Amino acid sequence: MAQSATADTPRRILITGCSSGIGRRAAEMLAERGHHVVASMRNPADVDAWPHRHIPAVRLDLDDPASIQAGLDRAVERLGGPVEVLFNNGAYGQPGAVEDLDRETLRAQLETNLLGTVELTNLVIPSMRAAGFGRIIQNSSVLGISALAFRGAYVASKFALEGLSDTMRLELAGSGIDVSLVEPGPITSRFRANAQRAFEQRIDWQRSVHREAYERQLERLRKPGPAAPFTLEPEAVVRRVIHATEARRPKARYPVTVPTYLFAALKRVLTVRAMDRVLARASGGGKR
């Protein structure tokens, strides 16, 4: 018989991508609510610098199968039992026009945002199935709902994550394992700084036909302050993660921020061409 979840039932939780932003706040806020949390991150220096002694931190690099297994093993040891709730938060955004993405750049994006996430998820499912309870919470994006120019690699990873999550939800029906997608729009985090680094490392933008658009993008990425209108703090996302963790019947999708709600609604009522015009204006021709 499937177990139930409530705010009064502490759960063993593993979170990826906890070096900053959403992942860090999720670890902090879930621990404050009495859950047993392990925070994971890919950079050993971030593990060493982790400030919370009451929240164990482990290294887990989603690009490395050996690191995924070792990180999960250490998390289970520190949790004192198998993972009951997995929040797949670890990801980064690779800017660049599709025609400027080489195979290695696209592969790197998918390794982190999709393939490593699925591999980790598949490793925790057997223990969840045996217990008759589990929560798999996927941090998707507004760009898992609608595409924007110059974000093709990230869009591909999030569209794929959405499709695989919907498929898993069907396949896991009756097992006691729920799959939820959290779909944020702009959130205050290091995401923009990480995207700038990935862009400058992997895109030969100065020789691209899109050079002018890239220059506007770099100006936006380097600008301090909110990345876009309607930017919210990480806590807005974590509140949905808490509901997906504790509710007796978690939702399949949790939109976060105005753009996510708006784009999802417009896709249902507009023609493709009309929606393209909205998305082109939203991206500002690459400036935003």
Read off the pLDDT of residues 149-193 as tens digits, 9 standing for 90 and up: 999 999 999 999 999 999 999 999 999 999 999 999 988 877 888
Question: What is the residue extent of each domain of the chain?
Answer: 12-286
CB 41 within 8 A of CB 52: no
User: pLDDT band at residue 285, thresholds of 50, 70 and 90?
Assistant: low
Nearest Cα to 252, choosing from 120, 114, 144, 129?
144
| pLDDT at residue 4 in the model | 52
Domain 12-286, second-level architecture: 3-Layer(aba) Sandwich (3.40)
User: pLDDT band at residue 2, thresholds of 50, 70 and 90?
Assistant: very low
Write the CB contacts of 247 (distance below 8 Å, at least 6 apart in sequence): 5
Residue 12 β-bridge partners? 36
Read off the pLDDT of residues 99-148 as tens digits, 9 standing for 90 and up: 999 999 999 999 999 999 999 999 999 999 999 999 999 999 999 999 99
Q: Which residues are catalytic?
A: 154
In the sheet that holds 57-59, the strands lie side by side as 57-59, 36-41, 12-15, 85-88, 134-139, 177-184, 253-256
The pTM is what?
0.92
Residue 130 β-bridge partners? none
